[in-house]
């Protein structure tokens, strides 16, 4: 079982609010990822990091930002949430065998 944690599990907020979705892993993985997933749909990569102080944008354009100050922590921030940001956000980390481990996700609803 992978040790990767996301908080909060569910979040309902109003338009214009700033939010940070937390993701932490205790496996010492250098590579971490954020995916966005709408119900029943495929996962879209929005951000990734190959190590401390390394962050890149993914395939899907996103207004969110990420930071990687510590290996175990990869938070995602929305400066001004909008209803179009309503989705599930999944954090993952990858081991040296390329295996990707996912957290349980944060279900975000912006009113």
Partner 1 sequence: GESVGLHLPTLSVQEGDNSIINCAYSNSASDYFIWYKQESGKGPQFIIDIRSNMDKRQGQRVTVLLNKTVKHLSLQIAATQPGDSAVYFCAEMDTGRRALTFGSGTRLQVQP
Per-residue binding string, partner 1, 35-74, x by CB under 8 A, is x----xxxxxx--x-------x-xx---------------
- Pick between residue 17 and residue 44 the one whose CB is nearest to partner 1: 44
The token pair at 6 is: 């996301």
User: Quick one: which of 71, 76, 74 has its CA closest to 60?
Assistant: 76
CB of 47 to partner 1, least distance (A): 10
- Pick between residue 14 and residue 98 the one whose CB is nearest to partner 1: 98
| Burial (CB count <10 Å: 0-12, 13-18, 19+), residue 100 | middle
Tokens 């390394």: give the residue.
54
| Number of Cβ atoms within 10 Å of the Cβ of 111 | 10
Which residues of this protein are in contact with partner 1, per CB under 8 A? 6, 33, 35, 40-45, 48, 56, 58-59, 90, 92, 98-105, 107
């Amino acid at each position: 079982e992978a040790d990767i944690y996301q908080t909060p599990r569910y979040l309902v907020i109003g338009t214009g609010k700033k939010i940070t979705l937390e993701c932490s892993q205790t496996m010492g993985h250098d590579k971490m990822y954020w995916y966005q997933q709408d119900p029943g749909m495929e996962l879209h990569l929005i951000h990734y990091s190959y190590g401390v102080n390394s962050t890149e944008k993914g395939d899907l354009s996103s207004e969110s930002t990420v930071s990687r100050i510590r290996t175990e922590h990869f938070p995602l921030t929305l400066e001004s949430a909008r209803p179009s940001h309503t989705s599930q956000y999944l954090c993952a980390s990858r081991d040296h065998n390329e295996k990707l481990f996912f957290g349980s996700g944060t279900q975000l609803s912006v009113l």
